């Protein structure tokens, strides 16, 4: 065992608890081990882990994550002595080739910000039919992004649906997927996310999943703006000039040193 002393910040973007580690003193081969340990209930606990340098965010499984990007930008604002009420930050993230623009605004509380990101455009959106049982066929909206694939379904949470989608993703060789159980009448969403090499997580909110719901609402309901209520809070999704944005609160919870034996 080798004791690692790692600098971290713990952030709450609408309940989707995120840990960000300074990657400069971390061996890339240790990223998955560090992530799995620090996500645990007996450690720092988080729903996801990212690794940062000055302007780049590397997610634990190489996926793209909208909430982690919003968190990173809010942390940059928190540390920025020149930040006043509003500032745009440019970052890059794993799972996405293009530079990302994130608008960060202050709130009445010093460690809480509102962070709005222009999300990467989807590669495709389509309806797929999956067989749950011999006599039961379900239709699901599949939204493909470069770093993750999301499935939007107007249905209560169902493990059989997740298992069937997992089989479908394995055949398609998708490395990360999410299932957004969505109630159109109440605009409530319960997100489930799996990244290859990690256990699936029922997240308290999901940025890219909210974006997928935004594409779903635009294509099938002709809706350009929605406030999506999720277990840990809310996120707004909007279509503006052929671009899709998500916006919502981000709280800087804690920062310090984590001690991890690997």
Q: Which residue's entry shows tokens 């099938």?
A: 220
Please pick, among 65, 69, 93, 169, the residue that the annotation labels catalytic: 65
Examine the residue annotation and report whether 93 is marked as an active-site residue of this protein.
no
3 state SS of 127: strand
Whose CA is closest to 66, among 39, 28, 97, 95?
95
H-helix or E-strand spanning residue 161: helix 159-172
**Any long-range contacts for 228-231 (C-beta under 8 Å, 24+ apart)?**
228/187, 228/188, 228/189, 229/186, 229/187, 229/188, 229/189, 230/14, 230/15, 230/188, 230/189, 230/190, 230/191, 230/203, 230/204, 230/205, 230/206, 231/15, 231/190, 231/202, 231/203, 231/204, 231/205
The rounded distance, in Å, linking the Cα atoms of 30 and 91 is: 23
Examine the residue annotation and report whether 169 is marked as an active-site residue of this protein.
no
Please pick, among 69, 93, 169, 206, the residue that the annotation labels catalytic: 206
What is the token pair recorded at 132? 């749950």
Q: How would DSSP label each residue in 49-65?
A: EEEE-SSEEEETTS---
Q: Which residue's entry shows tokens 């919870």?
A: 253
Q: Give me the active site residues, please.
A: 65, 206
């Amino acid at each position: 065992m080798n004791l690692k002393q790692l600098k971290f910040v713990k952030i709450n973007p609408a309940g989707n608890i995120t840990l960000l580690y300074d990657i400069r003193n971390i061996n890339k081969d240790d990223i998955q081990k560090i992530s799995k340990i620090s996500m645990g209930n007996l450690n720092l606990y988080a729903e996801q882990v990212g690794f940062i340098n000055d302007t780049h965010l590397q997610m634990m499984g190489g996926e793209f994550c909208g909430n982690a990007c919003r968190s990173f930008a809010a942390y940059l604002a928190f540390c920025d002595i020149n930040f006043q009420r509003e500032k745009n930050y440019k970052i890059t993230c794993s799972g996405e080739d293009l530079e990302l623009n994130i608008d960060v605004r202050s709130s009445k509380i010093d460690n809480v910000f509102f962070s709005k990101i222009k999300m990467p455009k989807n590669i495709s959106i389509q309806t797929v039919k999956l067989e749950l049982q011999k006599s039961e066929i379900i239709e699901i909206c599949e939204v493909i992004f470069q770093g993750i694939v999301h499935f939007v379904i107007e249905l209560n949470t169902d493990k059989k649906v997740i298992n069937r989608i997992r089989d479908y993703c394995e055949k398609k060789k998708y490395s990360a997927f999410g299932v957004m159980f969505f109630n159109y009448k109440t605009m409530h969403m319960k997100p489930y996310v799996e990244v290859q090499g990690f256990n699936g997580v029922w997240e308290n909110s999901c940025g890219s999943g909210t974006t997928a719901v935004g594409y779903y609402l635009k294509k099938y309901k002709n809706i350009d703006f929605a406030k999506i209520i999720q277990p840990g809070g809310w996120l707004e999704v909007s279509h503006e000039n052929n671009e899709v944005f998500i916006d919502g609160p981000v709280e800087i919870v804690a920062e310090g040193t984590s001690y991890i034996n690997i």
